[in-house]
Amino acid sequence: MQPHPSTNMAATWSIAVFAHNEAPRIAATLRSIEAAAQGMAVEVVVLANGCQDGTAQVVRDLAATRPHLRVVEIALADKANAWNEYVHTMAATPTLHVFVDGDVQVAPGALRALAERLAQVPAAHAVGALPTTGRDREGWSQRMLSQGTLAGGLYALRGSFVQTLRQRGIRLPLGLVGEDWLVSLWAGRDLQPIAMELEGSDYVVFAPEAGFAFRSLSPWRLHDYRTYARRLWRYAQRGVQYEMVWQWLRLRLPESLPPDVQTLYAQAPAPSRLLWTGSVLGSLLRCLAVQKVRRRQL
């Protein structure tokens, strides 16, 4: 990334990039971050988790000429674990922590738009960007705005909020599918139990000018069918995990969450298998995901 004029000045933005086998895409992601961070003091760390390709080497090659870029290799292929590692052992004390998936393109001006939006709303803990690609991008954006849900592709947390997470020892359960919805829940509820009444305030806000892009799946790519199938299964697991975490946090604080989803499955009540998700396939996959939870409880 572009070096700051004063090498003694701490970076005001810390950017965490999560990458699992992203060797073909990580360079483009980092270059898009570089362009979006033009003129700002930043530190960028790529958390290469469970990579079995050349992701880490690509980053090391780029870091040779970019002093504010580094890579940390993590053996476990788990984004929740990598997120915990960043928040609890790597994050310093900048004013803004930006979280980016290693396969997205950050739009020009997006980082500054995120920072400016947080500055406009002093009570906000988190600010989200909106997707600029995808067949359902408009519907997805509307759901994000109406539900206050961040997208894992690109969002930012205020430095003081990250410090609070560290001080209270609040971590994502390992194996959680998609950290964005739980981070949204923590931020939106001001780290309080869901059942607690809160005064109206914008704890999660969005910067419409901040966008991120990703490669859409294509019916002409055979490999994309396998990717799509895996994605549907992850969505089913994600939905079941969300229901269980929601019930867990109704009357409990975030630091009470089990350390991993296997413990969550064993200790929290399993959701009903009989829930219509809007499609036959989605409902079937959800039923299988609930069955997986119930086998863990035997």
pLDDT in the model for residue 20: 96
Model confidence at 71: pLDDT above 60: yes
What tokens appear for 218 in the block? 């294509």
Strands 13-19 and 96-101: parallel
Q: How much of the chain exceeds pLDDT 70, in percent?
A: 94
Please spell the DSSP secondary structure of 17-76, one letter per residue.
EEESS-TTTHHHHHHHHHHHTTTS-EEEEEEEES--SSHHHHHHHHHTT-TTEEEEEESS
**Mean pLDDT in the chain?**
89
pLDDT in the model for residue 121: 96
Select the more confidently predicted residue: 92 or 210.
Answer: 210
Q: Which of 20-24, 32-36, 126-130, 195-199 has the lowest mean pLDDT?
A: 195-199
Distance CA 83, CA 18 (A): 8
Which residues are CB-contacts of 49 (< 8 A; sequence separation ≥ 6)? 18, 19, 20, 74, 76, 77, 78, 79, 81, 82
Location of structure tokens 């806000």: 205
pLDDT in the model for residue 7: 32
pLDDT in the model for residue 8: 30
Q: With cut-offs at 50, 70 and 90, classify the pLDDT of residue 147.
A: very high
Nearest to 22 by CA among 154, 229, 214, 232: 214
- Tell me the average pLDDT across 255-284: 88
pLDDT in the model for residue 278: 81
CB 157 within 8 A of CB 118: no
Q: With cut-offs at 50, 70 and 90, classify the pLDDT of residue 273.
A: confident
Model confidence at 228: pLDDT above 80: no
What tokens appear for 140 in the block? 């997805």
Model confidence at 2: pLDDT above 50: no
Residues of the chain with CATH 3.90.550.10: 13-213
Distance CA 174, CA 113 (A): 31
- Tell me the average pLDDT across 71-96: 93
Select the more confidently predicted residue: 286 or 59.
Answer: 59
Model confidence at 274: pLDDT above 70: yes
pLDDT digits (tens, 9 = 90+) for 13-57: 999 999 999 999 999 999 999 999 887 888 999 999 999 999 999
pLDDT in the model for residue 238: 87
Q: Which of 56-70, 72-86, 186-200, 223-237 has the lowest mean pLDDT?
A: 223-237
pTM of the model: 0.90
Which residues are CB-contacts of 256 (< 8 A; sequence separation ≥ 6)? 248, 249
pLDDT in the model for residue 285: 86
- Tell me the average pLDDT across 210-239: 81
Domain 13-213 grouped into CATH 3.90.550.10:
yes
pLDDT in the model for residue 252: 96
pLDDT in the model for residue 298: 57
How many CB atoms neighbour CB 204 within 10 A?
23
Model confidence at 290: pLDDT above 50: yes
- Tell me the average pLDDT across 267-288: 84
What tokens appear for 129 in the block? 């960007």
